[in-house]
Structure 1
Amino acid sequence: MLSPAWLRSFSALAAEGSFTRAADSLALTQAAVSQHIRQIEAQVGPVFIRRPRGVELTPAGQALQAYCEEVERAGRCLASRLSDADALQGIVSMITPGSVGLSTYPKLLDIQSETPGLVIRHRFAPEDDVLKAVLDNRADMGIVSHHPQDERLAVERFCEEALELVVPAGADVEGWDDLVRLGFIDHPDGHAMATRLLSRRYPGKRGLADIPVSGFTNQIGLILEPVARGLGFSVMPRHARRAFARPEAIRVLGADQSVVETLWLIHRAEWDLPRRARHVVDELHRRLAAD
């Protein structure tokens, strides 16, 4: 069993790089820090290589450092859960794909404005980054379009979104060959969205493999700008299309044939969402349903 005091000395030494600085940061003697490290190494083997200018972590030391970081994260989660009894105060962090954020972020700001003491941090990211951020505890929760099969994640239905095929308003675009001629305006989630919609709309076609990419942007609010200028078509959620400032310059091809998909809310399965985060989720549900 590794004593918390030993682990504090280990973490300080790993951070400071010298026994003197580690001892000073902990208000201990060098002898005490050295004793703690000897106790650790008696159980797990050498964790540091001593060099004239400092210390270097061994593989065992790197594993122990990762363990200390896990313990620290668990401590923060415990403190967060124990503080839930207070009120709807503190930080709520959420990460979503850009297309989802266009509709959710203004509502998050409304919720924060109506809830004194609540601080909402929102970040846009592709879906792979959303999953990683939640798994790494860099966000309380995230939203994805695929139901993840990771036992570390709790998953619940969040809402539905309709994917639309958007083309230039003045372009003669009706069928598959017209899309190939026009080209695809890609975005971080564009390939996945277009593959899902086109495979259902045009069964038997190869999909994006047959369509040249005629543009790309990672700014969700700008995706439809090249479409409006006649440079290509794109696939995006309905709420993102509705946010475009020049709706007269675009049109939805087959508006009655949108593909409706489920969005999923994810968070770490090992602990419940803090009460303030659950409040944000419930309010988002209510406001999205009212749209």
Structure 2
Amino acid sequence: MFNALYFRTFITLVETGSFTLTARRLEMTQPGVSQHVRKLEKYLDKSLLERHGRRFTLTEAGRRAYDYALKLFAEHEQFRHSLDADSLYSGECRLASPGSVGLMLYPFILGQQQMHPGLSVNYSFAFNQEIVQDVLADRFDLGIVTEQIRQPDVKVEPWHREPLCLVVPADFVGTGLSELMGIGFINYSDGASHASALLRSNFPDEFRSMSHFRRQGFTNEVGMVLDAVARGLGFTVVSRLVLETSPWQRQVKELDLPVAVHESLHLVTRTGVETPRRYARLLEDFREQRRQALHGYTEWSRQD
């Protein structure tokens, strides 16, 4: 019969290298330790130890049993912590977002995991509708989407806003809509809608539709769109999250515009399902970090 206690005794024996120390650490007798090992060997039908007087070495089966036991108890601890919805810094985090958000949020959560080893992260980059379906299917506890979703059985609430940035090649010298139309537009999944919102607010007398702009290309990976802009192939409109995390941010520039337009981010959860507190803490800490960063950027822009 499977008995986790036998595996725990075996782990301790391998780590201490001594029946005496194992008995002392587990508050057992040495015969009791030996009995646990024998019963584990009988259960597995394999010899786990090669005994050399008071010393021993592991057999191949013993090494594999030790590796399995470590994995077994690690998963047990992870499962135990995942049941604690009140824990702020332990348990599994299962969430999904578009790449525009995840490029910065995922590294932030990994940093939190480094500080709090009890956390584990299961993060997916996906499009809005995929995220909603995955939340409904219980593949994720929480999703972040870039548009207001109306669908039964999901709860959608506003979370955070990021400024939209009009990004052009570094050597671009124009300032008006006609110059932008001259170099063309680089599109991505949310690109046209973001560009339409930003341009309509800042060029209300001139802008009509994104259909008037020459399309210079498309990528479904927002993290790559600034590569095309850096090569001088056109302009695009992305959230500041994308611009700040882009490896091409020094090869492009943002045009200053008088009217700020934001991308609104929403949290998606299943209706009637309580989200563990660790999510609220992670999301609030990230949002506060972004508030401070955006405030610092605004102050720097005014001084500049």
**TM-score, with length taken from structure 2:** 0.63
- The letter for the 2-side match of 1:241 is L
The answer to whether the 8 Å contact 1:182/1:232 transfers is: yes
- The letter for the 2-side match of 1:110 is G
Q: Secondary structure at the match of 2:139?
A: coil
CA distance in 1, matches of 2:287, 2:85: 21
The answer to whether the 8 Å contact 1:103/1:239 transfers is: yes
CA distance in 1, matches of 2:133, 2:156: 14
Instruction: Quote the residue 1:274 is aligned against.
Output: 276
What are the Cα deviations for residues 188-222 of structure 1, in whole angstroms up to 9, with x where unaligned?
22122222222222335332111121022233332
1:169-248 equivalence runs, <5 A: 169-203=170-204, 205-248=207-250
CA distance in 2, matches of 1:83, 1:250: 46
Quote the offset at 1:164 in angstroms. Answer: 1.0
Unaligned runs of 5+ in 1: 1-78
Quote the offset at 1:99 in angstroms. Answer: 1.0
Q: Does 1:159 align with 2:136?
A: no
Quote the offset at 1:167 in angstroms. Answer: 0.8
Quote the offset at 1:87 in angstroms. Answer: 6.9
**Percent of aligned pairs with the same amino acid:** 32
Instruction: Quote the residue 1:113 is aligned against.
Output: 114
Quote the offset at 1:81 in angstroms. Answer: 8.6
Q: Secondary structure at the match of 1:270?
A: coil
**TM-score, with length taken from structure 1:** 0.65
- The letter for the 2-side match of 1:124 is F
CA distance in 2, matches of 1:232, 1:253: 13
CA 87–181 in structure 1, closer or farther in 2 if over 3 Å, else same:
closer
CA 197–136 in structure 1, closer or farther in 2 if over 3 Å, else same:
farther
Instruction: Quote the residue 1:15 is aligned against.
Output: none
CA distance in 1, matches of 2:174, 2:101: 27
1:63-142 equivalence runs, <5 A: 83-84=84-85, 88-142=89-143
Aligned residues: 213
Q: Secondary structure at the match of 2:85?
A: helix
The answer to whether the 8 Å contact 1:90/1:119 transfers is: yes
Q: Does 1:149 align with 2:147?
A: no
Quote the offset at 1:88 in angstroms. Answer: 4.1
CA 175–289 in structure 1, closer or farther in 2 if over 3 Å, else same:
closer
What are the Cα deviations for residues 51-109 of structure 1, in whole angstroms up to 9, with x where unaligned?
xxxxxxxxxxxxxxxxxxxxxxxxxxxx9996435774332111111111122111111
What are the Cα deviations for residues 215-251 of structure 1, in whole angstroms up to 9, with x where unaligned?
2223333211111111000010112112233434212
CA distance in 1, matches of 2:233, 2:280: 43
The answer to whether the 8 Å contact 1:127/1:189 transfers is: no
Among 252, 259, 265, the residue aligned to 2:267: 265
CA 283–210 in structure 1, closer or farther in 2 if over 3 Å, else same:
same
Quote the offset at 1:114 in angstroms. Answer: 1.7
- The letter for the 2-side match of 1:233 is F
Quote the offset at 1:256 in angstroms. Answer: 4.2
CA distance in 1, matches of 2:243, 2:110: 21
CA distance in 1, matches of 2:108, 2:82: 25
Q: Secondary structure at the match of 1:206?
A: coil
CA distance in 2, matches of 1:139, 1:118: 15
Unaligned runs of 5+ in 2: 1-79, 294-304
CA distance in 1, matches of 2:253, 2:259: 13
CA 261–226 in structure 1, closer or farther in 2 if over 3 Å, else same:
closer
Quote the offset at 1:282 in angstroms. Answer: 3.2
- The letter for the 1-side match of 2:213 is I
- The letter for the 1-side match of 2:281 is H
CA distance in 2, matches of 1:147, 1:238: 20
CA distance in 2, matches of 1:195, 1:142: 25
Quote the offset at 1:255 in angstroms. Answer: 4.2
Q: Secondary structure at the match of 1:287?
A: helix
The answer to whether the 8 Å contact 1:156/1:264 transfers is: yes
CA distance in 2, matches of 1:259, 1:175: 17
